[in-house]
Copies of this chain bind each other. A is one copy, B any other.
Amino acid sequence: MTDDGKPTLGIGMVGYSFMGAAHSQAWRSAPSFFDVPVVPVLRALGGRNAEAAGEVARRFGWESVETDWRQLVARDDVELVDVCTPGDTHAEIAIAALEAGKHVLCEKPLANTVEEAEAMVAAAEKAADSGVRSLVGFTYRRVPAIALARQLVADGRIGRIYHVRAQYLQDWISDPEAPLSWRLQKDRAGSGALGDIGAHVIDLTQHITGERITGVSAMLETFVKERPVPSSFSGPLGTTGGTLPSSAEKRASAERGPVTVDDAAVFMARFTGGALASFEATRFASGRKNAIRIEINGANGSLAFDFEDMNVLQVHDHTVDPRLGGFTRVLVTEPSHPYVEGWWPPGHLLGYEHAFTHQAVDLLTAIAGGTDPAPSFADGLVVQRILAAVEESAAANSAWTEVPV
Binding site for B on A (CB under 8 A): 2-4, 18, 21-22, 24-25, 28-29, 31-33, 55, 58-60, 148, 162-163, 165, 167, 169-172, 174, 176, 217, 219, 221, 223, 241, 243-244, 264, 266-268, 270, 274, 276-278, 280, 282, 284-291, 297-302, 307-311, 315-318, 321-331, 333-334, 336-337, 343-354, 397-400
Contacts and interface: CB of A to CB of B under 8 A. Distances in A.
A324 B318 contact: no
A29 to B, nearest CB: 7
A377 to B, nearest CB: 26
Nearest to A243: B345
Contact of A399 (B219, B223, B264, B399): B399
Tell which of A29, A244, A324, A400 has the most Cβ of chain B within 10 Å. A324
A301 B286 contact: yes
Contact of A287 (B297, B311, B350): B297
A328 B331 contact: no
Contacts of A309: 309
B59 A32 contact: yes
Given A278-B266, A399-B398, A336 B349 contact: no
B336 A241 contact: no
B330 A325 contact: yes
Contact of A302 (B221, B286, B317): B286
A32 B243 CA distance: 20
Given A2-B58, A25-B32, A268-B217, A348 B337 contact: no
B172 A346 contact: yes
Given A290-B348, A398-B400, A324 B329 contact: no
A352 B352 contact: no
Nearest to A176: B299
A380 to B, nearest CB: 22
Tell which of A24, A243, A274 has the most Cβ of chain B within 10 Å. A243
A304 to B, nearest CB: 8
Contact of A268 (B169, B171, B219, B353): B219
Given A165-B167, A288-B347, A343-B352, 19 more contacts: A3-B58, A4-B55, A162-B285, A169-B297, A217-B398, A219-B276, A243-B346, A282-B297, A286-B318, A287-B297, A290-B348, A308-B331, A308-B347, A327-B329, A329-B329, A397-B399, A398-B398, A398-B399, A399-B399
B324 A330 contact: yes
Contacts of A58: 2-4
Nearest to A284: B162
Contacts of A329: 326-329
A326 B330 contact: yes
A183 B141 CA distance: 37
Contacts of A162: 174, 223, 264, 282, 284-286
